[in-house]
Amino acid sequence: MNKAKINIILFSSLAMLFGCKQEVKTPEIDEAALALAIEEHSKELNDWFELQFEDDVAKSPKMQTYLGIKTADYGKWDDISSKRELEKFEKAKERLSYLKDSVDIAKLDESTALSYSLFQQKLENNIEDYKYRFYTYPVNQMHGVQSEIPAFMINMHRIENKSDAEAYISRLNGIDEMFLQVVENIKIREKNGILLPKFVFSKVLDDCQNVITGQPFDTSNKQSTLFADFSTKVAALELPEEEENSLLEGAKKALLEGVKPGFDSLISLLKEQEQRATTEDGAWKFPKGIAFYNNALKRTTTTEMTAEEIHELGLTEVARIHNEMKDVMKQVSYEGTLKDFFSFMKEDKQFYFLDTPEGKEEYLGQAAVLIDSMKTKLDQLFITKPKADIIVKAVEAFREKSAGKAFYQRGTPDGTRPGSYYANLYDMSAMPKYQMEALAYHEGIPGHHMQISIAQELKDVPKFRKHGRYTAYVEGWGLYSEFLPKEIGAYKDPYSDFGRLAMELWRACRLVVDTGIHAKKWTREQGIAYYTDNTPNAESDAIKMVERHIVMPSQATAYKIGMNKILELREDAKKVLGEKFDIREFHDVVLTNGPVPLNVLEELVALWISSKKSDRNKEEISAL
């Protein structure tokens, strides 16, 4: 069969996965002419994809900065108004019309056919989800301008010359206007029946106060978070004293006239809304909340699994992992119940670093050693490896109280800013030594850093695919990456292997609790109790996790469902290919197409298996 026809078969299978309505017919034309048409038409569509990406980036000064691009917008913020949301909605409909009316899908190469399907699905989802645009909390303890804007300025806004410093000041001045948009967005949501749960207000208000504490907001001896960052960056420029002082005075003025009013307006609204907030936490409380949650599960998992199916899967996985943990208990000769063992792991001081500056530095140092050691073993598991480097950092003090346990922040595509593995060391009892390996592998290598960096570094793939995100794929890979090193000798210490299981158990419990809260009307307290009864994690971990479930419905279901799918596809490939199975090639299939929905990943693996079987058949014929 010629390649053109294979491309059409590939697109046909993708079309069925995505529910495309267009009919694909094999054209009866000259093969050379068809090959040329495929090359030209694919290039035309890929050029269009790049134009769409560039148009989106041009409208997002923040995205430009994330990508390491400096333009005249370096001192500006994104428009986050409801008017801008409507513009995005109309643009999505316009782009979808172009795809359906102007693209001949029979004349696309394999990669472009996949890009077409992914882009079409993205547009259709955005259009369908527009009705749920207010079903989010613009500020919460996990995300929101109150913590993300300071983090953005500190970690993303580089100051390499005087102009960059002036752009920093410009952004400080622009915070007032941007926060007014946030305030308006929050008010619109309340009118639509979407109000923050009561527990969130104190956390967000604390975050706000942390940013506007210190000089120049008060007369204390300590500089505020943003002023300290600006001062440090400007000092590194070694400008003439007069220029440096002028910039510092400009920053002080901007902090008082741009930052302070912005935060004050948000604080004022939140204090007012707090009086009306309730302790009802699940998405079921929203207008059409169940429909919203079911849709959120589809988007997060990229499957058709129902809330009930996900809940039951979680219960099954929790039971399985508990049994594996009992095997570890036997290895360390522990006498007692699993719950006793959990208490032992929570309370014995041998498993924890000191809650001191020295203890925290030791944690960061050992995490870096784990990542560096894994770098030396990648050839056993991977063909394609990232060029970008990674660093380990502690979550900044101004947001560590409310931030999650650990997370990854991508670097720039050109490698000028490395990826960052953030460890939250606010509560050292929530960061046991026995979980260090699994956390480092998940957030660093071979986890998020590897997957995201490889995607960013892909050649001949549209940028929207390089920078896309399907939570089940991304987080499924992260959780799979906790397990993978065990197969090449990691987790030599049984307690560390218990830590790996504890991390997987945590994700299995998420399936139970997320659906419990949002579909079964569990209370916050029921969710916390489920975690503390079934895991060895600190109660502070359980509280943070349940509160995360509440403000991010469905998000936490992605990890286990994604991991299970990757393992399932791997086992299927092993069964079919036998000794021809190469785990390095399998990982290449998973990683070198960029982020994709799980059903598309399944199709890509099936095509790889088919190609390997074809190669084997050719070898067998050749040997006859």
User: What is the DSSP annotation of 415-433?
Assistant: SSS-EEEEE--S-GGGS-G
Give Cβ neighbours of residue 195 (< 8 Å, ≥ 6 apart): 189, 273, 276, 277, 278
pLDDT at 373: 95
Q: How many CB atoms lie within 10 A of CB 56?
A: 15
pLDDT digits 0-9 by tens, 560-598: 999 999 999 999 999 999 999 999 999 999 999 999 999
As a whole number of angstroms, the distance between CA 348 and CA 280 comes to 36
**Averaged pLDDT for residues 601-621:** 81
- H or E, element range at 235: helix 225-235
SS3 28: coil
As a whole number of angstroms, the distance between CA 594 and CA 114 comes to 11
As a whole number of angstroms, the distance between CA 151 and CA 395 comes to 10
pLDDT at 7: 52
Sheet holding 406-409, edge to edge: 390-394, 419-423, 406-409
* Nearest of 226, 200, 181 to residue 142 by alpha carbon: 200
- Please give the residue that has the higher pLDDT: either 34 or 448: 448
* Nearest of 188, 143, 142, 136 to residue 293 by alpha carbon: 136
**Averaged pLDDT for residues 81-91:** 97
As a whole number of angstroms, the distance between CA 356 and CA 368 comes to 19
**Tokens read off for 573:** 């490939």
pLDDT higher than threshold 90 for residue 218: yes
- H or E, element range at 1: none
pLDDT averaged over every residue in the chain = 92
As a whole number of angstroms, the distance between CA 443 and CA 439 comes to 6
**Averaged pLDDT for residues 59-86:** 95
Give Cβ neighbours of residue 570 (< 8 Å, ≥ 6 apart): 583, 586
pLDDT digits 0-9 by tens, 406-445: 999 988 888 788 999 999 999 998 899 999 999 999 999 9
pLDDT at 486: 96
pLDDT at 41: 94
Residue 214: DSSP 8-state? S
**Tokens read off for 468:** 């896309």
pLDDT at 15: 57
User: Please, what sign has the CA dihedral across residues 512, 516, 518, 519?
Assistant: positive
Give Cβ neighbours of residue 139 (< 8 Å, ≥ 6 apart): 145, 146, 182, 186, 196, 204, 266, 270
pLDDT digits 0-9 by tens, 364-378: 999 999 999 999 999
pLDDT digits 0-9 by tens, 322-346: 999 999 999 999 999 999 999 999 8
Alpha carbon 267 to its chain's center: 28
Helix pair angle (3-18, 31-58), 10° resolution:
40
At residue 460 the predicted structure's pLDDT band, cuts being 50, 70 and 90, is confident
Residue 223: DSSP 8-state? B
pLDDT digits 0-9 by tens, 518-569: 999 999 999 999 999 999 988 888 999 999 999 999 999 999 999 999 999 9
**Averaged pLDDT for residues 290-299:** 97
pLDDT at 5: 45
On the question of a cis peptide bond just before residue 216, with omega within 30 degrees of 0, the verdict is yes
Q: How many CB atoms lie within 10 A of CB 617?
A: 10
In one-letter notation, the amino acid at residue 392 is V
**Which residue do the tokens 């050109």 mark?**
414
* Nearest of 315, 417, 323, 406 to residue 367 by alpha carbon: 406
Half-sphere exposure of 600 (CA within 13 A, CB side): 26
**Tokens read off for 174:** 């622009």
Alpha carbon 172 to its chain's center: 27
As a whole number of angstroms, the distance between CA 516 and CA 534 comes to 15
pLDDT at 613: 81
As a whole number of angstroms, the distance between CA 156 and CA 158 comes to 6
pLDDT higher than threshold 60 for residue 283: yes
As a whole number of angstroms, the distance between CA 365 and CA 474 comes to 26
User: Please, what sign has the CA dihedral across residues 244, 153, 212, 214?
Assistant: negative
- Please give the residue that has the higher pLDDT: either 6 or 276: 276
**Averaged pLDDT for residues 465-493:** 95
**Which ranges in 130-240 belong to alpha helices (H)?**
145-155, 162-191, 198-211, 225-235
As a whole number of angstroms, the distance between CA 340 and CA 334 comes to 9
Q: What is the pTM of this model?
A: 0.88
pLDDT at 511: 98
At residue 23 the predicted structure's pLDDT band, cuts being 50, 70 and 90, is low
Do 290 and 284 contact (CB within 8 A), yes or no?
A: yes
At residue 620 the predicted structure's pLDDT band, cuts being 50, 70 and 90, is low
